[in-house]
Copies of this chain bind each other. A is one copy, B any other.
Amino acid sequence: MKFEVTILGSSSATPVYNRNPTAQLLNCNEKFYLIDCGEGTQQQLIKFGLKASKINYVFISHLHGDHYFGLIGLLSSMHLNGRIKPLYIFAPKAIQEILELQFKHSDTNLRYELVYFEIDATQPAIIFQNGDVTVETIVLNHRIPCTGFKFTEKKRLRKLIVEKLENDDVPLDLYPLLKRGVDLTLPNGNVLKNIDYTTDSAHPRSYAYCSDTLMDELYFDSIKNCDTLYHEATFLHEMLERAKETHHTTALQAAEVAKIVNAKKLLIGHFSSRYKTLVELLEEAKTVFENTELAIEGTTYQI
């Protein structure tokens, strides 16, 4: 199953040096989930050849503008481009009032339905599930209510050991039951033990997105053992005081988090406008957690 994330914006606060405010597009089994939507997200989608029409779910971490000012424009363009299927928005409650006020004054009556799900930023919760993925909130520690999101693949069906099944003449119509892990007793009394005919499916991968936060053990449990951890790394560690003051994290701290929670891979982003180049942030993180990459706009990362 495809499970990958494309970075649309990697800048914190203000756009600079061709870096745009935060947005990411998660592709999970060819279903598309937009995570945050800073100003210019729709232009970034066009630039990278990604279709806004394929997005059915939007997740907004918090209401600082660099994480959602692009949403009203994206939704308006979807309307103008003829969208009719519903769009599901998981966001802080006020998003509805903000969007509706602007639609009212532009006299826009959307042709499609916006379905709002209010996020409670006080405790982690499962907020969405379908056949592919479960989405849980991650309670972060920022200046305003803020949640990250953990996307976990659904556990896949067990894998059949086809050669053995064929050797033992197991009827084809029993395969689906075996995939589900069932032991079977045949009419002749023979027992087919599931463990003899199947192997466990691949480990369900997970992607944890921690947008804006102080480093805080508050959220470590929520992201334990994730495969890819995206964590903000706004500053170099020499700016730790500034990071604390603004409720952000340094590259070194992001790496410490990855190590503590036993992530397989770390992706850092949300870079301060003071950094024209990013190599120092990467090097700093790697001193603590080697398997770190920079979130580069237009790049797709396998989870």
Contacts and interface: CB of A to CB of B under 8 A. Distances in A.
Interface of A: 13-17, 20-21, 39-40, 42-43, 46, 63-66, 69-70, 72-73, 76-77, 80-81, 92, 94, 97-98, 101-102, 105-108, 143-144
Contacts of A81: 14
Given A14-B42, A43-B15, A46-B15, A106 B64 contact: yes
B42 A15 contact: yes
Counted per complex, copies of this chain come to 2
Contacts of A105: 63, 92, 94, 98, 144
B63 A106 contact: yes
A16 B106 contact: no
Contact of A144 (B15, B46, B76, B107): B107
Contacts of A106: 63-65, 144
Contacts of A92: 105
A108 B64 CA distance: 9
Contact of A16 (B21, B46, B69, B70): B46
A72 B76 contact: no
A126 to B, nearest CB: 25
A102 B144 contact: no
A98 B107 contact: no
Contacts of A72: 65, 69
Contacts of A69: 39, 69, 72-73, 76, 102
A42 B21 CA distance: 11
Contact of A143 (B20, B97, B107): B107
Nearest to A95: B105
Nearest to A92: B105
